[in-house]
Amino acid sequence: MAFKPVAFEPYGRKRSAWRVPRWLLLLLLGAAAGAGGMWFVQERMLPPRLSAAESSALKSQLALAEQDRDRARRDLAATTQKLDATVAERKQLADELAADRERTRNARADQEFLIASLPPDPRGGAVEVRAARLTRDGGEMNYEVLLTRPKGGNPPLAGVMQFIVTGLAGGVERHITLEPIKISVGAHQSLRGSVPLPAAFTPKLTTISVFDRPGGKQLGMRVLYVN
């Protein structure tokens, strides 16, 4: 029978070499797989990452966009302010126009009342000379004449008004026929102006005549003093 030697170990049985724990190995493998999956997703599926220069350019574009937005806001505020001012101005103008129309309406009513209160033209006619004021001013005669139509004024009646002035020139009585003045009489027409007189002529009386045309049919007439 063969004899097999046995090694003597005075300090007990020798320990085996150290091994990595199974759980740590699995943890490291999971971390590596997660990092690889993250890298795959970033590189393959997500949009490419920007470089430093691209990031700087993007920030510059963003700053410019914010400046444009702020400028647009300021422009909008200024435009809104101008619009509000325009609306207020138009409202004021509309109010002033309404007030002017009301004053005009009242003035027209007052005028109609005053015309109706004037005495009628004693000669009558299709066109009446209801009132007139004639004044001498140097070598001219100023006139204010009110013509009316007793039978209504629609449509207006076109014609001419002519002055025949009687006065003295060098101590001799003269009759001066002045140039006709165009008229268009509705219910009434007020005429103001001045006409030239001959030199050294002193007017005394004036015949105001209304014709349908120069040298045509007489529609009205009145004789008044010149002041």
Q: Give, in order, the Cα–Cα distances in Å from 196 to each of 38, 45, 81, 139, 141.
A: 109, 103, 58, 6, 6
Topology (CATH) of 128-225: Immunoglobulin-like (2.60.40)
> For residue range 194-224, what is the model confidence (pLDDT) as tens digits?
999 998 899 999 999 999 999 999 999 999 9
Q: Distance of alpha carbon 13 from its chain centroid, rounded?
A: 111
Any idea where the domains of the chain sit in the sequence?
22-117, 128-225
What is the C-alpha to C-alpha distance for residues 182 and 211, in angstroms, rounded to an integer? 10
pLDDT: which is higher, 50 or 177: 177
What is the spatial distance between Cα 61 and Cα 48, in angstroms, rounded to a whole number?
A: 19
Q: Which residue has the higher pLDDT, 192 or 23?
A: 192
What pLDDT was estimated at residue 204? 95
Distance CA 147, CA 222 (A): 11
> Taking the mean position of all CA atoms in its chain, how far away is CA 186?
34
Q: Please report, for residues 37, 50, 108, 167, the alpha-carbon distance to residue 202 in angstroms, rounded to integers and kept in the order given.
A: 122, 105, 37, 5
CA 153, 158, 159 angle in degrees (round to 5)? 125
What gap in Å lies between CA 153 and CA 36, rounded to an integer?
103
Tell me what pLDDT residue 99 has: 85
Q: What is the pLDDT of residues 76-94, one digit of tens each?
A: 999 999 999 999 999 999 8
- In sequence order, what are the beta bridge partners of 166? 175, 205
